[in-house]
């Protein structure tokens, strides 16, 4: 006879107690595969419970694969693959991911690990971080946004909880189209696709074009996620050097003629990492070149709003009569990145093709956040916030420039003075080559860090360059940080390392 004990004072319901005790007996092989269990009637009598209680316990045992039940027969313990409990899950699995995953994804994975910042933990004091392009959370208009989001959900309710329009929330697309008009870009809402941040826009464009043997012309140096992503997509990066006024156009023409890239990727404002903004003339010439060779341009407008010194040039897209330019924008670099909302503006047919890739890769962006951002923009908060950010960062950048003059001798380094944005690109005029790891540990010892130049080149160049980002630092932090950087350079030049 099967011995079970029901504890009437327990908070575990009787059927559950029966289930658990039976389960134990099966797992401990007291009951073995093929053994018959008592009928529900019999066990119910024995335990003094209702038959349905026993039936529930048997149902649970069946559901979890412990027993077989056939109508009219007593249940039988079955051969059973064991559940994987924490204990018996193996430390190392049977799949060798390094072998199973594609070469391209192995390489992406390795690069991703390299890109993890070398910050913190290693130093006692607070490290001032010039390495990251993350935004300064102290400036986020969190309360305004929260209220707008709440209001959007209150007004539209259920309509925001479905998949919604695949191309994005229509009022937001209309707002963006209107906003782009203020940058000289004539476009309709139908020519706009909402994406999960600007990064997804880039990925979609690369995926649309990727085919064996195809190449993309890029700036060198460039944004550090570009080359790995191109290669992952199976596209070859063709590096065109950046001069003081932007991409070298003679070289670009050479590349266009000889290598026939399917795309030119460019960042005309506050280029990452050099901080260079190109002139109106440069933009016109670049567009003319691409028109001649009928090659589309991906214009990365990630910092369209952050032009705060001197005179702003208009986007390349504003001159694009022949629909060559795919313009990618974002709310991340002036508002906050957490909404993950960017957009692509391009010829309708191009948008349609990108949309199909989007639909298969992750369906669509959340309507909830899009409606929240729309409310935020429509209430005038966005325009006000842009003005605030321009004011704040003009002042912060002035502080940075002043600190450079004060703490960094012209013999040690030279840098490009930006006309906006958050980035300063610096060339170290080292007496001897500096190795990245030495440099980084020296910086960390002094309580400062920055992004190492090689990250931004497809090849092995870029040593003796660093990129400084002031995006998340206030004026005091900037000044202290640059002072510490001066200390580092002083030590290097005086062989104190």
- Told to check if 182 binds a second copy by CB under 8 A, we report no
> Rounded to an integer, what distance in angstroms lies between the CA atom of residue 37 and that of residue 67?
9
- Told to check if 12 binds a second copy by CB under 8 A, we report no
73: exposed, middle or buried (Cβ count in 10 Å: 0-12, 13-18, 19+)? exposed
For the CB of residue 216, give the shortest distance to a second copy in the complex, in Å. 12
**310 within 8 A of 277, measured Cβ to Cβ:** no
Size of the site for a second copy (CB under 8 A): 115
Indicate the residue among 220 and 318 with the shorter CB distance to a second copy: 318
Per-position x/- string for 113-152, each x denoting binding to a second copy as judged by CB under 8 A, each - no binding: x--------------------xx-xx-x-x--xx--xx--
- Told to check if 210 binds a second copy by CB under 8 A, we report yes
Per-position x/- string for 95-114, each x denoting binding to a second copy as judged by CB under 8 A, each - no binding: x-x--xxxxxxx-xx-xxx-
> Rounded to an integer, what distance in angstroms lies between the CA atom of residue 419 and that of residue 269?
9
The residue whose two tokens read 């002036």 is: 334
158: exposed, middle or buried (Cβ count in 10 Å: 0-12, 13-18, 19+)? exposed
Distance of alpha carbon 469 from its chain centroid, rounded?
18
| Burial profile 227-256: b = 16 or more Cβ within 10 angstroms, e = fewer | bbbbbbbbbebbbbebeeebbbbebbbebb
Query: For residue 329, what are the CA distances in angstroms to 80, 180, 298, 334, 359?
Result: 55, 10, 11, 11, 20
Q: Please count the other Cβ atoms lying within 10 Å of the Cβ belonging to residue 338.
A: 15
- Told to check if 312 binds a second copy by CB under 8 A, we report yes
For the CB of residue 96, give the shortest distance to a second copy in the complex, in Å. 8
DSSP lists the bridge partners of residue 344 as 193, 328
Chain positions 325 to 344 lying near a second copy, rule: CB under 8 A, are: 336-340
- Told to check if 52 binds a second copy by CB under 8 A, we report no
Chain positions 349 to 368 lying near a second copy, rule: CB under 8 A, are: 349-350, 352-353, 355-357, 359-368
Question: Which span sits near a second copy by CB under 8 A: 38-46, 307-315, 397-405, 488-496?
Answer: 307-315
Indicate the residue among 199 and 408 with the shorter CB distance to a second copy: 199
For the CB of residue 472, give the shortest distance to a second copy in the complex, in Å. 9
The crossing angle, in degrees rounded to 10, of helices 348-362 and 197-209 is: 100
For the CB of residue 259, give the shortest distance to a second copy in the complex, in Å. 15
- Told to check if 94 binds a second copy by CB under 8 A, we report yes
- Told to check if 225 binds a second copy by CB under 8 A, we report yes
Indicate the residue among 214 and 379 with the shorter CB distance to a second copy: 214
């Amino acid at each position: 006879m099967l011995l079970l004990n029901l504890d009437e004072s327990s908070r575990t319901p009787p059927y559950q107690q029966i289930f658990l005790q039976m389960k134990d007996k099966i797992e401990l092989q007291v009951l073995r595969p093929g053994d018959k269990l008592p009928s529900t009637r019999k066990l119910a009598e024995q335990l003094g419970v209702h038959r349905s209680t026993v039936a529930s316990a048997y149902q649970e045992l069946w559901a979890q694969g412990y027993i077989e039940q056939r109508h009219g027969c007593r249940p039988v313990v079955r051969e059973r693959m064991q559940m994987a409990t924490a204990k018996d899950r193996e430390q190392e699995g049977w799949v060798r991911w390094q072998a199973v995953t594609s070469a391209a994804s192995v390489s992406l994975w390795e690069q991703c690990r390299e890109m993890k910042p070398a910050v913190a933990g290693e130093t006692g004091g607070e490290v001032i971080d010039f390495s990251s392009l993350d935004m300064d959370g102290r400036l986020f208009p969190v309360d305004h946004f929260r209220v707008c989001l709440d209001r959007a959900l209150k007004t539209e309710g259920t309509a925001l909880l479905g998949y919604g329009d695949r191309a994005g929330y229509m009022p937001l697309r209309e707002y963006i189209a209107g906003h782009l008009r203020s940058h000289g870009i004539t476009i309709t809402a139908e020519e706009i696709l909402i994406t999960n941040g600007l990064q997804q826009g880039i990925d979609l464009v690369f995926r649309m074009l990727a085919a064996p043997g195809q190449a993309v012309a890029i700036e060198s140096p460039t944004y550090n996620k570009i080359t790995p992503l191109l290669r992952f997509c199976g596209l070859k990066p063709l590096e065109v050097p950046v001069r003081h006024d932007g991409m070298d156009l003679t070289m670009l023409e050479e590349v266009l003629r000889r290598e026939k890239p399917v795309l030119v990727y460019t960042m005309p404002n506050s280029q990452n990492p050099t901080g260079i903004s190109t002139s109106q003339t440069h933009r016109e010439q670049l567009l003319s070149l691409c028109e001649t060779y009928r090659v589309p341009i991906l214009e990365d407008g990630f910092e369209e709003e952050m032009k705060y010194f001197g005179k702003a040039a208009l986007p390349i897209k504003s001159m694009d009569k022949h629909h060559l330019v795919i313009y990618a924008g974002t709310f991340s670099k002036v508002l906050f990145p957490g909404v993950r909302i960017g957009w692509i503006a391009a010829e309708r047919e191009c948008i349609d093709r990108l949309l199909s890739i989007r639909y298969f890769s992750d369906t669509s962006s959340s309507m909830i956040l899009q409606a929240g951002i729309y409310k935020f923009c429509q209430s005038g908060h966005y325009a006000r916030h842009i003005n605030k950010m321009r004011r704040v960062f003009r002042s912060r950048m002035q502080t940075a420039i002043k600190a450079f003059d004060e703490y960094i001798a012209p013999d040690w380094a030279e840098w490009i003075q930006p006309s906006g944005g958050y980035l300063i690109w610096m060339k170290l005029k080292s007496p001897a080559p500096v190795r990245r790891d030495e440099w980084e540990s020296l910086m960390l010892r002094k309580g400062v860090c920055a992004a190492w130049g090689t990250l931004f080149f497809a090849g092995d160049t870029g040593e003796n360059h660093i990129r400084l980002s002031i995006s998340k630092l206030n004026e005091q932090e900037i000044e202290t940080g640059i002072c510490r950087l001066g200390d580092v350079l002083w030590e290097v030049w005086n062989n104190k390392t």
